[in-house]
C-alpha cells in the first residue's frame, strides 16, 4: 500500500492545497466509492451532487467549485481537474508498479547482430531479430516479438504477445498492448482467372513518439511506401489501420474503428467506436467522426460528422427504414406532381 500526504501531491504536481497538508492518502477512487484516505476528482460541474455525497478525504476541483468541497481534510484546486487526475494516475502508477529489471531473460531469444541497450529489458520467451535495435529503458514483455531490423525507441513498452514486424520503427515512450500487431501484411491481391494472387507488401510501419496502440489492434505495413502514425496518436483496442494509411499527430480512435488503405487523416482528429473510412480519401485536421459512421468521401472542412441511422423501438425503426427505401420513388412522384401544377 502506498502512503502519500496531500501536501506531497501538490509539491509534485502543482495546484492549490486547501486543508491539511499532512492528510494521508492510500489510493485514487471514484467519488461514489472513495473514503477518507482516497483522493478523487470532479471534472464536470454537472456531477456536483456526487461530490456533495462523496466521502472522499481529498478532492480535485476547478476554481469555481472550491467552496463546494465541504469539510474535508484536504482538497486541491486546479484549472483542469481531469488533466490533473491524468498526471496523478501516472505519478501514482510509477510508485505502485515494480519497474522491469534491465537485462535479458534466459528464455528469450536474441539473434546475432541485434543491438540492445544495457538498460533495456527483454522478458521471458521474447524474440529479438537480427539487426533489430532496442533503445534504453525499453521493455519487451513475455512472448513479445521484434522482427529483424526493427527499431524500438527509448522507454517504449511492448506488452506480452505484441508483435513488431521486420523493418518497422517505433518511437520513444510508446505503449503496445497485448496482441497488438505492427507490420502485418496489408490486404493486397490481384484477381486472375477466378482466383487471387498475393501482392507482396514491401513497405514498413513508422510510428512516432508517445503513441499508444490498444490490445489486438493491427497496423498493416505499406505495399510500397510506409504506413505512418505520427506523434501522439492513440488507438483503442481492436482498431485496424490498413496499408499506406497516414494518421496525423494526436489523432485518437476508439474501439473497432477501421481505416481502409491509402487514406490520409489529419492531426487532432477523433473517431468514435466502429467508425469506418473507405480507402484513398483525405480527412483534414480537427475532424470528429461519430460512432458507426461510414466515411465514403474526403472531408475538407473541420467539424463533427455522423451518419448512423438513429436507433428506435423495432416497430418504429422498421417503418422508418421502409420509408427510406421508398424515398427515391416518392421523389419522382413529387416532381411529377409539381410539373403538373406549374
Question: Which one-letter DSSP state was computed for residue 124?
Answer: T
Selecting among 177, 243, 246, 250, the annotated active-site residue is 243
To the query of whether residue 268 is one of the catalytic residues in this protein, the response is no
Q: Which helix (H) or strand (E) holds 283?
A: strand 282-283
Which letter does DSSP use for residue 333 in this model? Answer: H
Q: How far is CA 209 from the centre of its chain?
A: 13
Kindly tell me the sign of the dihedral angle through the C-alpha atoms of 39, 43, 47, 48: positive
Residue 341 CA: distances (Å) to CA of 30, 95, 96, 224, 329: 65, 79, 78, 60, 19
Distance (Å, rounded) from C-alpha 43 to C-alpha 24? 23
- Which grid coordinates belong to 12? 509534485
Other Cβ atoms within 10 Å of 284 Cβ, number: 17
| Residue recorded with cell 489486438 | 216
Cβ–Cβ contacts within 10 Å for residue 144, how many?
Answer: 27
Q: Provide the β-strand partners of residue 325.
A: none
- Give the sign of the dihedral formed by CA 183, CA 184, CA 185, CA 186: negative
Which whole-number Å values give the CA distances from 307 to 100, 180, 241, 274, 295, in the listed order?
45, 29, 21, 12, 8
Coil/strand/helix, residue 55: coil
**What is the DSSP annotation of 60-80?**
EE-GGGGGGS-S-SEEEE-S-
CA distances from 222 to 6, 144, 167, 184, 244 (A): 50, 22, 11, 9, 5
Q: Which residues are catalytic?
A: 243
Amino acid at each position: 500500500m502506498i502512503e502519500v500526504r496531500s501536501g506531497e501531491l501538490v509539491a509534485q504536481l502543482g495546484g492549490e492545497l486547501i486543508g491539511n497538508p499532512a492528510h494521508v492518502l492510500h489510493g485514487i477512487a471514484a467519488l461514489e466509492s472513495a473514503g477518507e484516505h482516497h483522493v478523487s476528482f470532479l471534472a464536470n460541474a454537472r456531477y456536483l451532487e456526487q461530490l456533495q455525497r462523496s466521502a472522499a478525504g481529498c478532492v480535485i476541483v476547478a476554481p469555481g467549485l472550491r467552496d463546494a468541497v465541504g469539510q474535508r481534510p484536504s482538497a486541491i484546486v486546479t484549472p483542469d481537474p481531469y488533466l490533473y487526475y491524468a498526471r496523478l494516475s501516472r505519478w501514482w502508477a510509477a510508485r505502485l508498479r515494480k519497474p522491469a529489471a534491465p537485462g535479458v531473460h534466459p528464455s528469450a531469444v536474441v539473434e546475432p547482430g541485434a543491438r540492445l541497450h544495457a538498460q533495456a529489458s527483454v522478458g521471458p520467451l521474447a524474440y529479438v531479430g537480427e539487426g533489430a535495435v532496442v533503445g534504453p529503458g525499453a521493455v519487451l514483455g513475455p512472448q513479445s516479438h521484434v522482427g529483424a531490423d526493427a527499431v524500438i525507441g527509448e522507454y517504449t513498452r511492448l506488452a506480452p504477445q505484441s508483435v513488431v514486424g521486420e523493418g518497422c520503427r517505433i518511437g520513444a515512450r510508446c505503449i503496445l498492448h497485448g496482441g497488438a500487431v505492427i507490420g502485418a501484411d496489408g490486404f493486397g491481391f490481384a484477381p486472375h482467372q477466378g482466383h487471387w494472387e498475393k501482392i507482396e507488401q514491401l513497405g514498413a510501419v513508422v510510428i512516432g513518439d508517445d503513441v499508444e496502440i490498444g490490445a489486438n489492434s493491427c497496423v498493416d505495413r505499406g505495399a510500397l511506401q510506409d504506413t505512418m502514425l505520427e506523434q501522439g496518436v492513440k488507438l483503442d483496442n481492436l482498431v485496424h489501420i490498413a496499408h499506406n494509411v497516414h494518421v496525423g499527430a494526436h489523432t485518437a480512435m476508439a474501439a473497432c474503428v477501421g481505416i481502409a488503405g491509402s487514406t490520409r487523416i489529419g492531426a487532432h482528429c477523433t473517431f468514435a467506436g466502429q467508425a469506418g473510412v473507405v480507402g484513398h480519401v483525405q480527412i483534414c485536421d480537427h475532424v470528429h467522426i461519430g460512432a458507426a459512421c461510414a466515411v465514403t468521401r474526403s472531408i475538407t472542412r473541420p467539424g463533427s460528422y455522423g451518419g448512423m441511422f438513429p436507433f428506435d423501438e423495432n416497430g418504429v425503426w422498421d417503418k422508418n427504414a421502409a420509408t427510406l427505401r421508398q424515398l427515391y420513388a416518392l421523389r419522382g412522384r413529387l416532381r411529377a406532381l409539381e410539373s403538373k401544377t406549374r
